[in-house]
Each structure stands twice: as structure tokens, then as C-alpha cells.
Chain A
Amino acid sequence: MKRKGKMRRIEKLLIDIVGQEHVSSDVSDLVAYERDDQFFLIPPHRPDVVVRPSTKEEIQAILRLANKYRVPVVPLASGINRKGLCIPSKGGIMLDLRRMNRILEINEEMMTATIEPAVSFGQLVNEVRKTGLRVITPWAPSTASVLANYMLRGIYGPATRYGTDHLISIEVVLPNGDLLQTGSLNTPTTNPKPYCNIVNGPDLCKLFQANPGTFGVLTKGTIRLYPMPEVMKPFMVAYPNYESMVKPAIELTIKDVVEACWTMTFTPSSLRTLTKGSHLESVSVQLAEAMGSEDFLTMWLYVAGERERAEKDEEIMRKIVAESGGTILPLPPESEEEMIKDEIWERTSVRGWKKGNLYGCSFYGVMKLAPTYYRVCRKLSFKYGFDEFHYEAVPVAPFHGQLSYNDPCILWDAGDPEQVRKMKKLHREIMKALLRTGIYGWFRPFPGVVDASELGKYGELWIAVKKLIDPNNIMNPGKPPLS
């Protein structure tokens, strides 16, 4: 009752800040935020109130209020709540940022875009492609927030050439309502510009990256744009086993011959599900028949750049593929066109969910170990009866340490309580097995995956920084580094 009374007061104060029409504590507005696809690991929980600000000043006022009354705040950018990151596990204020969807600047000369947090990849690409530039897009739905994705470091189609760091500077409201700007925005000069991060000391933008709304609320960010390649050509290469794929993947990456290099495996059943009704269905049906019970192993490569360079790159790529025993598969023109759109425009498809749900336990590891990771995860998946298994490993620039993004994916059905029970166990086993095999670490600070208390001094310092910035732990409590 006491809590309800407090939240009623808070709601009135929130209305004062953003107006009645942008605040609701009605249960029908709240249930929409209580669950995401990771509900089997992160139990559903409703916020007490949802508020929709549209300016940084409003966000500052909201955080000052929340900090004063010690009410949790969970920021949500474009609304794609994944892997428990935005579940308001302790209730409080759901800060829905979708009114902050303005593209503030596209600067062709500086090759940058400055945007608000709810700008989606689709929205941004739509504008940027009117110039000669390109947005580096993730393998995620085009509705995903650019800044949320870049802040949490996604995996991008062309990560093999362009890596995962596309953020230059940010503006963030701290839990006490103060405004912080990183990089060159803070240089005491006339009309400071946001286009440089490596000035005046440490790049504090990095401090906020990979913290899932736990250090503050992003209100704008400046990102890198890249030249649109004159030529882009996708290739699908088949291999007899994973080992034979790894060597050419490493060579192609080191020689910078391709912008994207996705080594992938599919069990026959996962291949059927993933391609059903798609432009690749006819190809995959033939492949599945030829495979029998064997996995289909393939490398997706994209040659891209100025025409002259692309032609040379293709020549080298074909040589490397041939020498490693790979077979370049013929692609129907519509498949080629769709693959290019997926790479440049951003995907519209979320085929990974075709079975209903997609489990992933993504991590960074050593490229040469990808076959081992694959076998370990595949074995465990089958042990629990999940035969729709798919694995992907992608060399990521800069490739020092053979940095690779890895994702064991399982297509499953969370509507089946028995599968939910099994998946909980499988998740723990996969994590343990991967740590035993030797990985660099987990892809993102997902709750139920990353536990700062197991990270020694690093974890202690991470927690200490969190406490320094957010002493009242109002920002997205229950998420790493504090569980």
C-alpha cells in the first residue's frame, strides 16, 4: 500500500514533466513490457508506470525525480526488448524513448550521423542511402535502435571488415539528472563538434558501452558512416566439414578480401525451418536431401568495394576457396538481390524465430576453435532433444587474437513447458561447456549470462564504478554488473 501510494505520487510528478498523454500506469499499458523472449530465464515483471519523454530535459527531470525517490528506471530505446535486458525486474518507471526518434544530422563530409536513441536502422538507412554513405547494420530486425545496438555492441553483417565499434560520442543523462557528453563535444572551444572520441583523456563513451541502461540514459549519439561500395557480391560456399572452412575464413580476413565472412552450420531440420517460404527454400530443399542426416556447412562471403578492387578481391577469394576444397553454390538472382539488401539496407526478416523461439548463447572466441565450440554445443543441443541446431562463427575486425563472434543457435518452442524446462538446464550446460573449452567471454552483459561477481577484480571495479555513478541503483536494477 505504501509503495502504491508512493508510485501514485511519482506518477503525478511524471505527468507534470511530460504531460498526461505520455504517462500511464494502466495495467494494459504495463503488461506490454513485462515479458520478452528470454522469459524462461528472466521472469516476467511489470513496471509500475510507463513514461514517454521526448527531450533530454524531460529525461533529466525524470531521473532527478527517480533518484530522489529511489525509484527504478528502465530505459527502452526502440522497443525490441531482448534477453531480459529491459525487463523491469524491480518495477519502477519504464522509460519508453520511442518519441526520441529524430535524425539530428547526417554529415557526408564528416561521414557521421547524429541521432536520438529511438532511431531505427531502417529509418536511418532510409536517409543515409540518399547520400553516398552507408550505415553498418546488424543481423537484427531493421526496427532495432541504432544507438542501443551500437552501445551494446552488436554483430554486424560486415563485421569481418568493419568490426563492431561504430560509435564516436554520446550524450547521456546520469542517474542524478546531470548531462554528460563524451569526446570532442567537451573541448572548450568555439562550437564544439561531436566527431572525435580520442581527445582530452580517456574515451568515456566506452565506459557506458555494454552497460545495459545501468549507468544512465542515452539522449543522442554520433556514429560512423562508411562509403557505400560500388560493387557488392554475395557468395554461398559449401564445405565438407568445419575445419576446412576455418583456414580460408582466417586467410580471407587477414587479406581483407571480403567484408563479411560468416561460417555457418545447419542441421537438416534447422535448414528447412529457416528457409521455409524464403528465396532460399528451393536451394535448401535440394541441399537437405543431399545432406541426409549430415549438417550443411557453408560460408557466406560478401565481396564489396570499388569495382577494380572488388574484382581483384573476388579473384583472390575464388582461389582461396578452391584451394580449401570449397564449392561456390549457384545463387538464384532473387536470392542474391535479397542477400545484398539484407547486408546494406538491414534485414526485414527474423527467420531465426521461424520455429517460434530462438535460443542463442553468443560469445567471443578464437576463430580456429570454432569447430570445437560447434561440436560441443551441437552435442549438448541434441542431448536435450533439440535437433534444430545452427551455429555461426564470424571473424571480427580487428582480427588480432583471431577474434570471432560465435553463436550456437537453437530453434525451439517456448510455448511448450517441457521444452522450457529443458532449455533452462541446457543453457547452464552450454555456458559451462564453453567456459571449459576456452572462450574470450560473453557477447553482451545479458542477465543470466554475465555475473560480475565471478569476474574477480574486474568485476569488483565494474560494480564500484556502477555504485559511483548510480549510488541509489535506480538504473535498470537487477542487470549486470549488479544482479
Chain B
Amino acid sequence: MKLKDYLKELYHCFHCHLCNVGNWHELDEWVSICPTYAYFGFESFSAAGKIEIGRAFIQGKIKKPSSRMLQIIFGDLGCGACHSQCKDLTGLNIDHVEFFEELKTKLVEEGYGPLPKQADYARSIQRNHNPYWEKHEKRTSWLNSRIPKGGKIVYFVGCTSSYRTQEIARATVEILSASGVEFGIMDGEEWCCGSPLLRTGQRKLARDLAKHNLRALKDAGAEKVIFSCAGCYKTFKKDYPKLLGRTLDFEVLHTSEYFWNLIKEKKLRPRREEGIKVTYHDPCHLGRGTGLYDPPRQVLREIFGRYFVEMKRTKENAWCCGAGSGVKAALPDFAIWSATQRLEEAEKTGANILASTCPFCKRNLEDAEKKVKKGMEVRDLSELLSERLT
């Protein structure tokens, strides 16, 4: 849907601001759910405010976006918390995440935005196929054993686990190997999925990446592609088909659902852990983004049983860690603040471990933990599972 086609629908937002709070009939508590509005405070940072900015831009009432406007729009987390509240309650029939991405894309097309750090990582992606200014040749430096290239089942590692949270990549490989599944990786043929670009309106470059990755996976004979990164998973599952106008030739699975299948098939038998309390943070790309809420919880219950506890804000009402859509790069203080809120919520459950299923969430939550020192262990589901394989 093109940006101008949204205009008619935007009149249906009447600023009820229910998008700023969790579903309190369901949660039994009045809690904030929109990190940008909670942090920045101005109406313009709420979903309703961003909708009005979009409307004014489409109508030509804002001709030249200011740097403030770019901060507001490109500081949007794309977490979809607003949409999860709005969609069933009101008559505003848009997907907020898609609308804000469309707005960002249009702005970029017209020469405005993204924010400097977001443009910077795009340059890195162009040069190195990753957003971290790391050498492409080092993409598999995390590997401590030989894994075949390609095959029917492919593990798509993603940039963050390749260069920053390598323990997730190693744990994933360990689990897959332990299950007896024959799988491969893409080695140097794996490029950034394009998620950091799509979330910041840099769609053209993302399309090139999608074409490359799909061609490479086809050449590798992939029938099933597994992702440990929620961002990559959503990008392949939801964005690639739209971006390229065709369905994918292979099945797209997140590790949490694949692991749960392996457990059900008795190919994995995790050791039961007693006494360690663990809670789970829903990555926005995985939860609200693709509707995958249960498999990570099923795996955690399998390991931790009754010691798996939920935070107040979960699933559709989850609080975003604050890292997504290039926000960690561009607005790091805000990203850490949002993650700190989540750590505090996790602490209230009495949990020792805050688990998640996204390397980028893990990274941001860990960075916040280093800063505020809550004593919370931030772990990926794959790490928790790999450490308990029998």
C-alpha cells in the first residue's frame, strides 16, 4: 500500500490514546505500553501523534521535514505495541508498523532521513553485508567446528549473532547437532537480511539483499531455513514475499518453534532444571510481528517447569526492549532506558534469568543490565537449552 493511500484511513484515528496503555481488562493493571511516548512525552511521539505527522506530510502540510520530525519518525521502534491495542478496539484499519515503515520509506525516497547512525550502518551493509562495519570474511569466525555449506536445512545465523552475540550461534549449532539433524550454514553467501534497512525506510538496498539471499538459498537447495534472530525471521517470513512479490521456495522457521518440534519428536531431551526462576521477553518481531508467542514458552516450561514465570506485560501486551528499527544505533540512551524498564519488570517476578529469542533484544537488555546492575542474567533460549542437553 502506497503512503498516499493511507490518508483516508488516517482520519479514523481520534486520539483515544488507548494505544499507549496495555489492555488493562486483560492485564488487570494500568500499564504503559508505548516506549517512545513514555520516554519522550510529547504527543508527537505517541502513535496518534505520528499518524498526524504522516497525515500532514501526505497532505503536503509539511513540505520540508525538520530534524525533530526525523527524530520522531525514525525513532519509532516498529514494535507494534500501538497496533496490538488499536486493532480490535477502534475503526482505524491500518497496521501501524507498516504505515510508519511506509512513511520512513517515502521520506528516504524524497531525500529526508534516516538518522545519521542508521545511514551509517546502511553504508556498512553495502560494503560488508553487515551493519557493524565488520569484515565479511569474518562472518563465520564464531564457528568452532566444521559445518557443511547449504543443504536442505539451513541455519541462517544473522549479522548480530555472527559478530556480536556469537554465543547464540554456537548454542544453536550445538542444539541442531545434538538433535541429529543434518543442516548447513551459508558461510559467505549469507548477507544481512535487510531488516535494519527496511525498518528505517531504506528499502531499495534491502531489496537487493533479499534477492541475493533468496538466490543463494535456492542455489544451496534449502527447503527449510531456521533463524535464531527474530528480526531476520520476520524479514524472511513477512517482508521478503511483499518486497519481491512472490512466495518463498522454502519453509521459514524460528529456532524456538523448530526446537519445540524437536523436543516433541524426542530428538531433544533437555534436562529439567529445578529452582532457577526464568522469565521470558517477547521480541517484538517474533511476537507481535509474526504471532509466535507459544513455542519459546513451551521450551522454557519443558526445562524450567513451574519456575518459568511471566512478567505482567507479555505477548501482545509486551513492552519493547527498545533496540529495534535502528533505534539502538541512533538513540542509544532511549534504547537503554526502555531495556531498563524491562529489566525492572523482570526483577519483579523474582526471576534470576531473563530469556529471549532475539540476539538484538539480548544485546540491548545486556547493555542495560551492565549499566543498572540488577543482577539479572540475560540469556537466549538457545543458550539455556544447549546447556541442558542430555
Binding site for B on A (CB under 8 A): 22, 24, 26-29, 31-37, 39, 50, 52, 78-82, 96, 98-99, 120, 122-123, 125-126, 141-143, 277, 338, 341, 345, 348-351, 353-358, 413-416
- Do A28 and B53 touch across chains, with their CB atoms under 8 A apart? yes
- Write the chain A residue with the least CB distance to B42: A29
Residue from B24, B44, B53, B56 within 8 A of A122 (CB atoms): B24
Q: Is B177 an interface residue (CB 8 A)?
A: no
Binding site for A on B (CB under 8 A): 7-12, 14-18, 20-21, 23-25, 29-30, 41-44, 46, 48-49, 52-53, 55-56, 61-62, 65-66, 68-69, 72, 88-93
CA distance A350 to B86 in the complex (A): 10
B12: chain A residues at CB < 8 Å are 353, 356-357, 413-415
B90: chain A residues at CB < 8 Å are 350, 353-354
- Do A32 and B25 touch across chains, with their CB atoms under 8 A apart? no
Residue from B44, B89, B91, B92 within 8 A of A348 (CB atoms): B89
Q: A27-B62, A52-B41, A79-B46 are in contact. List 13 more A-B contacts (CB 8 A).
A: A26-B69, A32-B43, A32-B52, A81-B15, A122-B24, A123-B30, A143-B21, A348-B23, A353-B91, A356-B91, A357-B11, A413-B12, A415-B11
CA distance A141 to B17 in the complex (A): 8
CA distance A37 to B56 in the complex (A): 15
26 intermolecular pairs with C-beta atoms under 8 Å apart = A24-B42, A26-B66, A28-B65, A29-B68, A34-B52, A34-B56, A79-B15, A79-B43, A79-B46, A80-B15, A80-B16, A80-B17, A99-B41, A122-B24, A122-B30, A125-B30, A142-B24, A143-B21, A338-B25, A356-B11, A356-B12, A357-B12, A357-B91, A358-B14, A414-B12, A415-B7
The total of interchain contacts (Cβ-Cβ below 8 angstroms) comes to: 135
- Write the chain A residue with the least CB distance to B87: A277
CB distance from B3 to the nearest CB of A (A): 15
Residue from B11, B41, B66 within 8 A of A27 (CB atoms): B66
Residue from B24, B49, B89 within 8 A of A350 (CB atoms): B89
CA distance A122 to B22 in the complex (A): 11
- Write the chain A residue with the least CB distance to B40: A21
CA distance A219 to B72 in the complex (A): 29
In the A-B complex, list the 9 residue pairs whose CB atoms are closest, starting with the nearest: A415-B8, A28-B69, A32-B49, A126-B30, A37-B14, A356-B12, A26-B68, A32-B43, A31-B56
- Write the chain A residue with the least CB distance to B73: A28
- Do A28 and B17 touch across chains, with their CB atoms under 8 A apart? no
Residue from B10, B14, B68 within 8 A of A36 (CB atoms): B14
- Write the chain A residue with the least CB distance to B10: A415
- Do B24 and A126 touch across chains, with their CB atoms under 8 A apart? yes
- Do A351 and B89 touch across chains, with their CB atoms under 8 A apart? yes
B93: chain A residues at CB < 8 Å are 356
CB distance from B88 to the nearest CB of A (A): 6
- Write the chain B residue with the least CB distance to A26: B68
CB distance from B89 to the nearest CB of A (A): 5
Residue from A31, A82, A338 within 8 A of B53 (CB atoms): A31
* Chain A CB within 10 A, most for which of B16, B23, B53, B92: B16
- Write the chain A residue with the least CB distance to B51: A32
CA distance A66 to B23 in the complex (A): 39
- Write the chain A residue with the least CB distance to B70: A28
- Do B25 and A341 touch across chains, with their CB atoms under 8 A apart? yes
- Write the chain A residue with the least CB distance to B61: A31
- Do A416 and B42 touch across chains, with their CB atoms under 8 A apart? no
CA distance A34 to B91 in the complex (A): 20
- Do B43 and A33 touch across chains, with their CB atoms under 8 A apart? yes
Assess A357 versus B88: contact at CB under 8 Å? Given A26-B69, A27-B62, A27-B69.
no
- Do B11 and A348 touch across chains, with their CB atoms under 8 A apart? no
- Write the chain B residue with the least CB distance to A83: B14
B92: chain A residues at CB < 8 Å are 353, 356
Assess A35 versus B16: contact at CB under 8 Å? Given A28-B44, A50-B42, A353-B91.
no
CA distance A356 to B8 in the complex (A): 10
Residue from B17, B30, B68, B72 within 8 A of A78 (CB atoms): B17
CB distance from B110 to the nearest CB of A (A): 15
- Write the chain B residue with the least CB distance to A33: B43
B52: chain A residues at CB < 8 Å are 31-32, 34-35
- Write the chain B residue with the least CB distance to A417: B8
CA distance A27 to B68 in the complex (A): 9
* Chain B CB within 10 A, most for which of A24, A33, A39, A143: A143
CA distance A81 to B11 in the complex (A): 14
A415: chain B residues at CB < 8 Å are 7-12
Residue from A143, A353, A413 within 8 A of B20 (CB atoms): A143
- Do B88 and A277 touch across chains, with their CB atoms under 8 A apart? yes
- Do B14 and A82 touch across chains, with their CB atoms under 8 A apart? yes
CA distance A126 to B32 in the complex (A): 13
CB distance from A66 to the nearest CB of B (A): 20
CB distance from A349 to the nearest CB of B (A): 5
B30: chain A residues at CB < 8 Å are 120, 122-123, 125-126, 142
B53: chain A residues at CB < 8 Å are 28, 31-32
- Write the chain B residue with the least CB distance to A34: B52
CA distance A36 to B13 in the complex (A): 9
* Chain B CB within 10 A, most for which of A78, A120, A341, A354: A354
A39: chain B residues at CB < 8 Å are 11
CB distance from B337 to the nearest CB of A (A): 14
CA distance A120 to B31 in the complex (A): 12
CB distance from B8 to the nearest CB of A (A): 3
- Do B16 and A29 touch across chains, with their CB atoms under 8 A apart? no
- Do A28 and B21 touch across chains, with their CB atoms under 8 A apart? no
CB distance from A39 to the nearest CB of B (A): 8
B23: chain A residues at CB < 8 Å are 348
CA distance A127 to B203 in the complex (A): 46
Residue from A29, A37, A341, A414 within 8 A of B44 (CB atoms): A29
CB distance from B202 to the nearest CB of A (A): 21
- Do B24 and A28 touch across chains, with their CB atoms under 8 A apart? no
A338: chain B residues at CB < 8 Å are 25
CB distance from B16 to the nearest CB of A (A): 4
A413: chain B residues at CB < 8 Å are 12
A123: chain B residues at CB < 8 Å are 30
A31: chain B residues at CB < 8 Å are 44, 52-53, 55-56, 61-62
CA distance A320 to B75 in the complex (A): 59
CA distance A31 to B50 in the complex (A): 9
CA distance A355 to B93 in the complex (A): 9
B10: chain A residues at CB < 8 Å are 415
B21: chain A residues at CB < 8 Å are 122, 142-143
B15: chain A residues at CB < 8 Å are 36-37, 79-81
- Write the chain A residue with the least CB distance to B50: A32
- Do A357 and B66 touch across chains, with their CB atoms under 8 A apart? no
CA distance A173 to B7 in the complex (A): 39
CA distance A142 to B19 in the complex (A): 11
- Write the chain B residue with the least CB distance to A277: B88
CB distance from A88 to the nearest CB of B (A): 13
A28: chain B residues at CB < 8 Å are 44, 53, 62, 65-66, 68-69, 72
A358: chain B residues at CB < 8 Å are 14
B24: chain A residues at CB < 8 Å are 122, 126, 142, 345, 348
CB distance from A155 to the nearest CB of B (A): 17
Residue from B11, B17, B29 within 8 A of A79 (CB atoms): B17
Residue from B17, B42, B56, B69 within 8 A of A52 (CB atoms): B42
- Do A32 and B69 touch across chains, with their CB atoms under 8 A apart? no
CB distance from A277 to the nearest CB of B (A): 6
- Write the chain A residue with the least CB distance to B30: A126
- Write the chain B residue with the least CB distance to A416: B8
A345: chain B residues at CB < 8 Å are 24-25
CA distance A345 to B89 in the complex (A): 16
- Write the chain A residue with the least CB distance to B31: A126
CB distance from B309 to the nearest CB of A (A): 22
A36: chain B residues at CB < 8 Å are 14-15
CA distance A413 to B14 in the complex (A): 12
- Write the chain B residue with the least CB distance to A29: B44
